[in-house]
Each structure stands twice: as C-alpha cells, then as structure tokens.
Structure 1
Amino acid sequence: MDLAQAQELWNPEPGWLNTASYGLPPRPAWDALQQALGEWQVGRTSWEGWNAATDRSRTAFARLVGVPVADVCVGAGVSQLLAPIAAALPAGTTVLAPEEEFTSNLFPWLVHGDRGVRVRTVPAARLVESIDASTDLVAFSLVQSATGAVAEYEAVVAAARDHGALVVVDATQGCGWLPFDAGLADAVVVGAYKWLMAPRGAAFGYLAPALRDRLTPLAAGWYAGDDPHGSYYGPPLRLAADARRFDLSPAWFSFVGAAPALELIAEIGLPAIHAHNVNLANSFLTGLGQPPGNSAIVTVDVPDAQQRLAAAGIRAAVRAGHLRASFHLYTTPTDITQALTALT
C-alpha cells in the first residue's frame, strides 16, 4: 500500500498538528477496537482473541526497528520498561542524559540516587562530546519531545562503545516516522500512543540479550511465564527464556488497537512516512521564514501562536515556552496552509 492509498484510512478534523502528544488511529485500528469493545460489553467471547493482538504487535514492532522478536518485551509505559535496568545499576554508576530529556527517561535513574547512582545532565547538542571514561550509561531520546531535535544516534552509540558505556534510548517521539536500527543500542523503549498511533497503554522495549541477562524481571507475573497459559497457579518460578520474561500482562484493548496500526506502518514503509512528515514540517518552517530541518516535530516562536492557531481550529501544543507542531501520515498541505494563514 502506498502512502496516498493509506491516507484514505483516516478522516481527521482539519488542523491536527499534535501527533507528538497523541496519534490518530487508522480505520483498521479503530474498527478492531470497536469490535473488541462490543464483544466485551455483552460477553460475546473469551479474552484469548484480544490477547493474540499482543503478539501481532510485538512482531510488527520488531520488524519496524530491525530486531529479533525474541528480544522484544511489552508493557504499559516507558518508565516501567526502564525500571529493571535502573534497578540493576550498581552503586557508583554514572548516567549521562540530556538536561532537557523527558522525565520518563530521567526519573527511573534519579530515584536511585539514594543508593549512589549519579545522573549527570548536559545539553542534548553536547551529548556526544560529553561521553567520557566516567560514563557508565547514556540515556537519551531519539527525538526530543520539547524541541523535535533528532539525536546523533550512531555517534552517541560509537562514543559510548569507546568508553564501555551502555546505551538506552527512548524512541517514543521517533518510532513510526524515523527509520533507525534499534539493535545498535542496549535497550530501546517506545510508548506506542504517539507516532505508532496505538491506544495509550501499549509500550514496547528492545532488550539486547547481553543486557537482559543482567536484569531481574521485578514485575514478573503469569504473562512472563515460559508458557503463560501454564503459569496461572503455583510454584515453581518458570519464566520465559527471552525478553518475554519482562512482559507485563497486557492491557488487551490497547494492543487490539496497536496491532493494525503497527502493521499498517510497516506496510507503507518508514522511508515514505519519513519523507512525507519532514517535507510537511519543512513547508511549515519555510512559510514562517525559518530554515528547514530534519524532524517531523518543529518548534517556533510566534507571538500569541497558540491563541491564533486555536482561533483557526488548529490544534498544536506549547512546550518549554515554544509552539510545537508535529506532522504525520494524515497531515495534509491544507493543514499547513491553514496554520500559516493563522500565524502570518
């Protein structure tokens, strides 16, 4: 399916420039969720069919980020997926992170300060040059939430490897429009309700085997079992050998909506989505007399921007004092024209 065909699967109200806050579901995801909710309402079926969407989602995510499906765990949110990594850090560990990092990738490290885990922050633009012999783990976002700045992913990884440091990436604001190889990092976590356009409550984590073997699955339950359906009751402990031992019991309906959305992204292809999103973002920047960039998320300073956009029915966001606009599959040139008219 090409991008033009795929765009027929959305019918958004004009002016949605806020996917960095939440994504809009394609029709197959919406329809699957409505069907499941209807089944739940009247007790028409058992839950196993809803649960099957979890493995479909896991497989589609692994394909999108280029890693083996056995290395992917599922959960509910970014900080929950990071928690076992943070808990495994020994006292005296130094974590390096951008000072403007979204706190779901800061608080999991900071809460271990009382046992000697130190978090050092620097401006995101100086992250690569700040990695040194004292750095044990580098935690950063692939794309910054507040600014849309795209990290120098491969350069960060290379610098970290030079100093023997782990690399942990929050790809929530990039996965779904920005092609990248998750396998370069030690861990990659993604909240799926933004650019992957899933219901909130679905999240994915890539855990490299070498890191995974150092971690304790602190939230292990029946779904982390080697055979989940044989793990309902009683000892002994019998966890999955792969990343599934870090699974949370899934929020069924979140994954029912996630599976069709992720499969559609994979069918369209990230290169086409990336080109579409960045081209629209750059059209917006050019219309405001700004230089083009390389991100689907842009921030601008325009007096009374949020009020002017709201008056025109355009929905965007304000982050760190700047207007933040974000552009995805369902964004159209008409959305850009309307936004620019309101702002200029």
Structure 2
Amino acid sequence: MRSAFGATFDVGVGYLNSPSIGIPNTDAVVAVRDAVHRWAVGANSPSEFDVHVRRARDAFASLVGVDAANVAAGVSGSQLVGIVAASVPDGTRVLIARNEFTSLSFPFAAQAHRGVKVTEVGLVDLPSSMDGHDLVAVSVVQSADGAVVDLEALREAAAKTGARVLLDVTQAAGWMPLHLPWADWVVAAAYKWLLCPRGAAWMAVRPDALDELVPHAANWYAGEDPWDSIYGLPLRLAASARRLDLSPVWLSQVGAAASLEWLSTVDMEAVRAHSVRLADSLLGGLGLPSRGSAIVSLALSEDDSRALAGAGVRSASRAGRTRLGFHLYNTDDDVELVLRALKH
C-alpha cells in the first residue's frame, strides 16, 4: 500500500504503466465495489447515476480550466474526436503530428471521402506549419514517447492563422496542470492518468465552437431534460455541450466521480514536479538527457526488456521502444528498481 497526496493506492513497486492503465485510489475502488454490490442485489435505479455523471463532469472541467456547462460526456476519446471529424466542412485541411495516436488521427482520415485532407509534420513543426490549414489536432503529450507539444506556440499560431485547435489531453490530464479554455475542443479518455475505470471520456467545447458540431449520436441522455427525452419527437437536445453526451457507462462514472473529484483538489504543479523528477532521475541514471515529461521511452535490447519484466517492472511496448510512466503514486524505489534491472 502506498500513500501519495493524501490518498492511498494498493500498488507495489515497479508499476510504471500508468500511460496504459492508471491505478485508482482506495476510495475510488470502494465506490465502484459498493456500486457493483448494489447492482448485484437490484438496489439501483437508473436516475441514481446522474449525480456521478455530474460530479465527474464538474471535476473534469476544473482539471482543464473550463466551465462544466461546456463539457460533453462520452465513452472514449475517438468517439468524441469523431464528432468533430464528422462535423468539419468538406475539404477541411487538418494538420497533425507525425505518428500521432490513431484515435486522434483516424477519425479525420476516415473523412477522406468528403475531401478532408490530413497532413503529418513533426511535433515541433506544428506551430510553424499551421498556415494553410483549417484545423490542428494534437495530443498535448504524445503516447509513444511522452514528447510534450509547445502549447503557447500552438496558441499563438492558431490566433495568427485562424486555425481551429483540438487538443487530446489523455496522456497529460492528471499529471500536468492544464488551463485550456482557449482551445476549440479538448478531449480526454479517463482510464490512464485520470485514474478512472475505462468507459468514460469528456470533451470540453469552446462555446463559439459548439454550434459547428453535429450531434451524430444524439440520444435521450443528450436531451435538455434527459428523463423527459426518452420517447417521441421533436428533437429536444440540451442547449449546452450536454447535447453531445452519450448515455453513460454507469460503473465507469461512479469511479470517475470519485477519482476526478479527488484529483481536482490536488496541486497539479506538485504532481508534475514529482512525476517529472522521477522520470528525469531515471534518464539521468541511464546517462540520458532530461525531457521534462512523466513518460520515458527507452530503446532496450531483448535481454534488457526481459530483465525489466523479471524484476517486476510493469511497462508497455510502444513504437518499438519500452514506455515507462511515473505518476503521483510512484517513488524513487521504482527508479532504483529499473536501474538495478538494467545494471546501472
């Protein structure tokens, strides 16, 4: 059992796979466990979960620096990105980072039949390449290697060129302080650094960008009053970003409410400092330069990869390299375990 930032986590030394699956604190585990028990004994009614959806939405809004009325709740990052991709005009010119996570790039590429053109450039070249494009879509922290986009340069370039901006913060929210009301759309899946069960995601929508989106998955839960939107026409969707909601995955929202409400009270500057210090400490121990990210990507031999696994290190293989992530529940013991396994 570990303690971090006022919470406890039932995770041992060597868990460095938060970029794949984040570990909930024990309060979130209890909340989901209790919800499963209530389900098992038939103690729930559907409307009881609305409070969890609201709590999670409010907390996510706080974490990215927007008003909760401007947040839509979905189930996955690609589903929410897909709303934007399917709504852009025919012939839209989209700029993305080379080797971007495909849940961000594929929804736009799938619109090629409408003349939507997607161009890839290096991450550092995004701001200088925005002229001549209508929209830039980028992960704030890259999934493959943890590279961090220059948000201020991106913001300035967008203001200069008029390009719309879609940010995916799936690998950033939860360890990086974020204040993103300037972006047109901000998407995040919850089950990584936000420490939620899989099946919850959100999209913050700048108010002047909301009417550009077609609610392709319009459903009863997106109604102005969901419980009065179950049967029959006319269409009566919410005036706010809730018009893009999907009917929630109940147990995921229970866990999300518990995890995000706690995270929204944590000092994210302190979390970033903690996580980046550990990651850079590992890089320093390996004779590699600091990168200022919570994610480390290493080119390891097969022998070294086996040594890591044998030592009990949980990691992931991405883009032909070993990916390690340091979150708020990690400690110097995790760094030392990796260095010992790699004999440094």
With normalisation by structure 1, the TM-score equals 0.96
Q: How large is the Cα RMSD of the aligned pairs? A: 1.3
Aligned counterpart, 1:56: 55
Task: Give 1:114 shift.
Answer: 1.0
Pairing 1:297–2:291 present: no
Q: Which amino acid letter does the alignment assign opposite residue 101 of structure 2?
A: F
Do the aligned partners of 2:74 and 2:201 also contact (CA within 8 Å) in 1? yes
Pairing 1:271–2:269 present: yes
Aligned counterpart, 1:259: 257
Task: Give 1:185 shift.
Answer: 0.7
Aligned counterpart, 1:169: 167
Pairing 1:199–2:204 present: no
2-structure distance, mates of 1:5, 1:287: 24
Query: Residue 268 of structure 1 aligns to a residue in which SS?
Result: coil
1-structure distance, mates of 2:274, 2:11: 17
Pairs within 5 Å for 1:30-69: 30-69=29-68
With normalisation by structure 2, the TM-score equals 0.96
Q: Deviations over 1:212-262 (max 9, x none)?
A: 111111111111000111111111111100000000000000010011111
CA separation of 1:102/1:232 partners in 2, compared to 1, >3 Å: closer, same or farther?
same
Give the one of 215, 223, 226 matched to 1:225: 223
2-structure distance, mates of 1:245, 1:193: 23
Give the one of 227, 233, 237 matched to 2:235: 237
Do the aligned partners of 1:36 and 1:50 also contact (CA within 8 Å) in 2? no
Task: Give 1:183 shift.
Answer: 0.8
Query: Residue 291 of structure 1 aligns to a residue in which SS?
Result: coil
Aligned counterpart, 1:77: 76
Aligned counterpart, 1:286: 284
Task: Give 1:22 shift.
Answer: 0.9
Structure 1 residue ranges without an equivalent (≥5) = none
Query: Residue 182 of structure 1 aligns to a residue in which SS?
Result: coil
Pairs within 5 Å for 1:85-234: 85-132=84-131, 134-234=132-232
Do the aligned partners of 1:7 and 1:330 also contact (CA within 8 Å) in 2? no
2-structure distance, mates of 1:214, 1:159: 21
2-structure distance, mates of 1:8, 1:174: 20
Q: Which amino acid letter does the alignment assign opposite residue 238 of structure 1?
A: R
CA separation of 1:321/1:7 partners in 2, compared to 1, >3 Å: closer, same or farther?
farther
Pairing 1:13–2:3 present: no
Query: Residue 181 of structure 2 aligns to a residue in which SS?
Result: helix
Q: How many residue pairs get matched?
A: 341
Query: Residue 140 of structure 1 aligns to a residue in which SS?
Result: strand
Query: Residue 300 of structure 2 aligns to a residue in which SS?
Result: coil
Task: Give 1:329 shift.
Answer: 1.3
Task: Give 1:303 shift.
Answer: 2.2
Task: Give 1:192 shift.
Answer: 0.5
Task: Give 1:306 shift.
Answer: 2.1
Identity %: 47
